[in-house]
Amino acid sequence: MGKLDGKVAIVTGGGRGLGRAYARHLAGLGAKVAVSDLDLKSYAEFEAEAAAMTGDSTVDEIRNGGGEAMGFEFDVGDRDAMFAMAADVKKAWGRIDVLVANAGGGRGKPMETTATLVPLDLLELVTRMNFFGTVHSCSAVAPTMIEQKSGKIVTVASYAGSVAGAGGGYAHYGANKAAIAHYTRYLAQELGPHNINANCIAPGVIATARIVKLVGGGPGGNRGAEDIALKRYGTVEDCAKVIEFLTTDLSDYVTGALIPIDGGWNKAG
C-alpha cells in the first residue's frame, strides 16, 4: 500500500528538474499524477536532464513504471488554462487531493534585475510565472478540495524570498517568492476550516542540471557550499522527501508554514 493510493495530484512545471522529481515521487507513493509544463519536453534544454530521462516525458516515465499520469502543456500564468486543467483532472479521476505549485523561476541577469533597475517586461514575466501562476493554481484546485473537505497544497518560494542577495540582483524573483510565501499564509487561513493544508517550501541551492550549469559544482563539487551548514547543495530527492511529508498524513497538523530546504544556509552570508 502506498501512502497516496487512490489520491490525485497535480504538479505544475513537472517537465524537468524539481517538478519532475515531485511528480515521480508522488506517483511512487501511489498517486495518480497530472503534470503540467509550458513544454513537457523542457528537459531537452539541458544535456544532464535529457540524459537522466527514462521516457519521452515525465508522464511517460510514470506510466512506464506502472503508474497513472496525464500531461498538460500551458502557461500557469494563463488563469483559464489552469482552471481548464483542474476541470479535466477532476473529470478524469474524480478528485484532486494534492497540488504542488512548482512552476516558476527567474529571468534576466542579476545586475540587470536590481530593485530599481529591473526592466518592466522581466518584472511582468517573472510575476506572471511565479506569483500569478501560484495564485491561479491554488484557486483552480480550491473548489474541488473544499467540496471534498480535504486537500494538501504546497507552494514554492526560495531562499531568495527571505534573504536579499548581495548587490541586490534578482530582486524581481526574490520579491515574487516572498509574495508566494505570504500568500500561502493567507491561503492556509482561508482553507483551514475546510480541512485543507497549505504550506510553502523555500529551497536553497538544489543541484538540478540548470543550477549546476549556472553555479558550477553540483552534488560532487559543491563549489560555494561553504556557507551551507551541511556543506553540500541539495538534491531533488531532498526536496521530494519534504513534499512527501507535506502531501501525506504526516503533516495533518501543519499549515501556513514556510519550510526551508537549504541545508542550513547561513542567513548572514
Question: DSSP string spanning 67-97?
Answer: --EEEEE--TT-HHHHHHHHHHHHHHHS---
Beta-sheet pairing, 151-156 with 98-101: parallel
Chain position carrying cell 534576466: 108
Q: 67-86 mask for ligand NAD (x: CB under 6 A)?
A: --------xxx---------
Contacts for 222 with CB less than 8 Å, ≥ 6 apart: 231, 232, 233
Q: Which amino acid is at 226?
A: E
Stretch that binds ligand NAD, among 17-25, 88-96, 116-124, 216-224 (CB under 6 A): 17-25
Count of CB atoms within 10 A of residue 6's CB? Answer: 13
Contact 199, 191 (CB under 8 A): no
> Looking at beta carbons only, is 149 or 231 nearer to ligand NAD?
231
Please select the residue that binds ligand NAD; options are 34, 62, 187, 211, rule is CB under 6 A.
211
Q: Is 105 in the site for ligand NAD (CB under 6 A)?
A: yes
Does residue 208 belong to the site contacting ligand NAD (CB under 6 A)?
yes
Contact between 133 and ligand NAD by CB under 6 A: the answer reads yes
Span from 90-98, 101-109, 113-121, 248-256 in contact with ligand NAD (CB under 6 A): 101-109
Task: Tell me the window of 2-10, 63-71, 100-108, 220-228 that interacts with ligand NAD (CB under 6 A).
Answer: 100-108
31 Rama sector, left if φ>0, alpha if ψ -120 to 50, beta otherwise: beta
Catalytic annotation on 170? no
> Binding of ligand NAD at residue 247 (CB under 6 A)?
no
Judged by CB under 6 A, the chain residues 148 through 207 that form the site for ligand NAD are 156, 158, 203, 205-206
The residue annotated as part of the active site, out of 22, 43, 159, 173, is 173
Q: Which of 212, 216, 243, 219 minimizes the C-alpha distance to 233?
A: 219
Residue nearest to ligand NAD according to CB distances in the complex: 17
Return d(Cα 62, Cα 69) in angstroms, integer.
Answer: 6
CA atoms of 68 and 43, how far apart (whole Å)? 21
Part of the chain binding ligand NAD (CB under 6 A), chosen from 15-23, 64-72, 86-94, 147-155: 15-23
Of 10, 18, 142, 246, the residue at the interface with ligand NAD (CB under 6 A) is: 18
CB of 12 to ligand NAD, least distance (A): 6
Q: Is 11 in the site for ligand NAD (CB under 6 A)?
A: no
Of residues 19 and 71, the one with the C-beta less far from ligand NAD: 19
Q: Does residue number 37 form part of the binding site for ligand NAD (CB under 6 A)?
A: yes
Is the separation of the CB atoms in 262 and 159 below 8 Å? yes
Burial class (CB in 10 A: 0-12, 13-18, 19+), 30: middle
Q: Which residues are catalytic?
A: 173
Give the footprint of ligand NAD on this chain (CB under 6 A).
Answer: 12-13, 15-19, 37-39, 42, 75-77, 102-105, 129, 133, 156, 158, 203, 205-206, 208, 210-211
